[in-house]
Amino acid sequence: MIDDMLRTPEAIRDAERWTAHNYHPLPVVISSAEGSWLTDVDGRRYLDCLAGYSALNFGHRHPTLIAAAHAQLDRLTLTSRAFVHDQFADFCRELAELCGKDLVLPMNTGAEAVETGIKVARKWGYQVKGVAPGMANIVVAEGNFHGRTTTIVSFSTDEDARADFGPYTPGFTVVPYGDLAALSAAIDENTVAVLLEPIQGEQGVVVPPEGYLPGVRRVCTEQNVLFIADEIQSGLGRTGDTFACDHEGVTPDMYLLGKALGGGIVPVSAVAANTDVLGVLRPGQHGSTFGGNPLACAVATEVVRLLATGEFQRRSTELGARLHAGLRSLVGKGLVAVRGRGLWAGLDIDPALMSGREACERLAERGVLAKDTHGATIRLAPPLVITEEEIDHAVAQLAAVLAG
């Protein structure tokens, strides 16, 4: 039997045996990839419709990014920030220019960028706004996902993410997402920041009502509160613009970036803001051993240059329209709702039909990899290098799964 020779079951058993069970992966074992396609240990090919939760916006092993990584590996990989290296200034300047901000602070993971944003906002609150010592609060939204540290899960409203990880960090007020009146009412004289995802990715690609983000911007300006946009998943081309905030002409005080910034090669995150905000940090007050390392900077500089061409944002807009048209045609045929923007979609499957997990398993059998979230929802976020034919293929496979 050919099946007995498949390496997949064995490789899955090994992976389960030696790790904490903090994930429930689909039963595939990937060994190589290129562009939008993954190949498993048995040589089967899959279309990647998750793209590493948007860490792979430029696809797997984009030639420009791989070349930059190789070249840097042969010269210099790490100095720590105790010394300056020759990749640092270009990266910071070019990213700051892409963001339209004065300064950049590089870190590694998304959660570290969020933690950095929180620390900077609090320090700004005490030193610039004049909040009484220890009193700073930050307004956040229900359904948020900002990462996994103890402080960040302290203001999560997802019980799986939060339960049994207390005691929790105080200083956060949670309000319903998309409700400007509630957000406005939650701001008091000790509020230093509003921290939001302009589109809530993990929650199921939830787009706020039109006018919400400009409203948040206006209230923050009026109340002297920083607007921090967590664009770690929504930013860097995913929605058809450089930032999801761009769609509504909104400029936050602070961008939090990660995921795609590392080109799918290395973890790179960053905070971008103007001098009046990021300038509150002095030497010794914040840092990271690996943050802004030469390899990270070499790769991320090329990521910024790819985005500066506008090509990927354009692809996301055009191909996203095709994806959404295809998905909308399935509403009433197994889908109950489709949300999203650009090459990013949240689909609610008719729960009477199957769970999101089951749909993803059946999609995987048909050679399309996607990820469920919150029961009956599936998220699609293919690499921005995906083609029209590949989008049509993914939609056709989904249609076949929903048709049973």
- Residues annotated as catalytic (active site), given as ranges: 145, 230, 259
Q: State which of positions 259-278 bind ligand PLP (CB under 6 A).
A: 259
Task: Give the residue nearest to ligand PLP (CB).
Answer: 110
* By the rule CB under 6 A, 145 interacts with ligand PLP: yes
Of the candidates 117, 125, 143, 147, which one interacts with ligand PLP according to CB under 6 A? 147
Q: State which of positions 17-56 bind ligand PLP (CB under 6 A).
A: 53
* By the rule CB under 6 A, 232 interacts with ligand PLP: yes
List the x/- string, 310-349, binding to ligand PLP by CB under 6 A.
Answer: ----------------------------------------
Stretch that binds ligand PLP, among 15-23, 109-117, 216-224, 275-283 (CB under 6 A): 109-117
Of the candidates 51, 69, 114, 220, which one interacts with ligand PLP according to CB under 6 A? 114
Nearest to ligand PLP of 111, 386 (CB atom)? 111
List the x/- string, 170-209, binding to ligand PLP by CB under 6 A.
Answer: ---------------------------x---x--------
Distance of closest approach, residue 40 Cβ to ligand PLP, in angstroms = 24
Distance of closest approach, residue 367 Cβ to ligand PLP, in angstroms = 26
Nearest to ligand PLP of 230, 302 (CB atom)? 230
* By the rule CB under 6 A, 109 interacts with ligand PLP: yes
Nearest to ligand PLP of 268, 307 (CB atom)? 268
Stretch that binds ligand PLP, among 61-69, 103-111, 123-131, 216-224 (CB under 6 A): 103-111
Three-state SS for the chain is: CHHHHCCHHHHHHHHHHCCCCCCCCCCCCEEEEEECEEEECCCCEEEECCHHHHCCCCCECCHHHHHHHHHHHCCCCCCCCCCCCCCHHHHHHHHHHHHCCCEEEEECCHHHHHHHHHHHHHHHHHHHHCCCCCCCEEEEECCCCCCCCHHHHHCCCCHHHHCCCCCCCCCEEEECCCCHHHHHHHCCCCEEEEEECCCECCCCCECCCCCHHHHHHHHHHHHCCEEEEECCCCCCCCCCCCCHHHHHCCCCCEEEECHHHHCCCCCCEEEEECHHHHCCCCCCCCCCCCCCCHHHHHHHHHHHHHHHCCHHHHHHHHHHHHHHHHHHCCECCCEEEEEECCCCEEEEECCCCCCHHHHHHHHHHCCEECEEECCCEEEECCCCCCCHHHHHHHHHHHHHHHCC
Residues that bind ligand PLP (CB under 6 A): 53, 109-111, 114, 145-147, 197, 201, 230, 232-233, 258-259
